Amino acid sequence: MIKQTLDLSGVTPFNRTQIEHLVHTAGEFTSRIIFEHRNRTINGKSMLGILSLGMTEHEPVTMIVDGDDEEKAFEAMKTLLENGVAPPKGAPDAEQLMQVIKDRYHTILQDNLLGIYLHGSLAADCFQWERSDIDFLVVVHRPLSVEKKIALVETLYSLSPDAPPAGFEMSVILEKYCRNIPYPIPYELHYSNRWKRDYERDPRGFCSSSSGVDPDLTAHLLNLYAHGAAIHGPAVPRVFDQVKREDALRAIRYDVEDAEGHLHDNPVYFVLNLARAVAYCRKGKVLSKKEGGEWALRHMPTEHQRVIQAALNAYETGLGMSYDAGQAEDFCYDALEEIRKAE
């Protein structure tokens, strides 16, 4: 059990948005969360309770958190209260960040910049600040110098405090690879949270070596053509050819090949990713993870519906996925078999 006295005088009274945000945050944890004020005990997971908490004026209150995830719950609630119960961030905040990036990249690249293209969850209208990253591609006419690469990465690195926890995933590719798209696609520069420490240790060394080929870029272009948007530059069809089906299947197989070995590390990701992969294999549909799960509920065998629904519920709520391991493994096996046999 964790118990601490808090001063809420600079935060209260709460408005409706703040109350909803506090209750939603408290509901993400299994621990009991209560507040004590004078002789009252206030339920931290109740709208009415939080409303009454906002009426404590300038008097201190005691927050008590007790349960299996009490440390995480306590820190989340304390941070929220100390920061004034700021409204949760979402897609508009991510879009605002992209406008900042667009302006800075245009200044850095000038006439070498052809376009900046948004793809992934933000483009597919299923972005979640706490779990999604911001995916975008930059297309340039000519190869980049190391100095330009450092400037591009430094832009994202400097924006990290204002970015979603998962950060950015950015790739720079040459214009010539957007037509008659090769497999795998060469890239000039790639940066994401995965490479943050490498960049911190040696910016020049990282940017000097950050080029190569990436099978995942084929999947990114597949999604870009279906859901993407130009943040700067010509519209997507004016710059990119469509990805050939045989290359798309190769990229999908590359993306899901470790599903069996890592299914239980991130079941939500693998179940929904496999579901949308099957949708492409059967119907050529390019779907987001959420759309893939919804499609699979309608079109995959009924014995898999429970695990698919569990993955969708966890994806939409941000809570842990409650599922039967055997059912998930059966779904994974059947989906991979279908993906491997697709033509």
Give the pLDDT score at 317.
79
Regions of the chain where pLDDT drops below 70: 56-57, 86-87
Alpha-carbon gap, residue 253 to 265, rounded angstroms: 19
pLDDT confidence of residue 136? 98
Boundary (domain end) residue, out of 61, 82, 103: 82
Q: Are 102 and 235 part of one and the same domain?
A: yes
Within a domain: 244: no
Residue 252 lies in a domain: no
Print the domain residue range for 286: 257-341
Domain identity same for 222 and 150 = yes
> Are 95 and 191 contained in the same domain?
yes
Residue 248 falls within a domain, yes or no?
no
Together in a domain, 40 and 68: yes
At residue 16, the pLDDT reads 81
Per-residue model confidence (pLDDT) at position 38: 85
Same domain for 71 and 99, yes or no, is: no
126/65 same-domain check: no
* pLDDT in the model for residue 140: 98
Place of tokens 């100390």: 82
In a domain, 246, yes or no: no
Decide if 204 is inside a domain. Answer: yes
* Cβ atoms of 330 and 303 closer than 8 Å: yes
| Residue 86: predicted pLDDT | 66
* Whether residue 150 sits in one domain with residue 95: yes
Answer yes or no: is 306 within a domain: yes
Instruction: Give the Å distances, CA to CA, from 159 to 103, 162, 266.
Output: 13, 6, 27
> What is the count of structural domains for the chain?
3
pTM of the model: 0.80
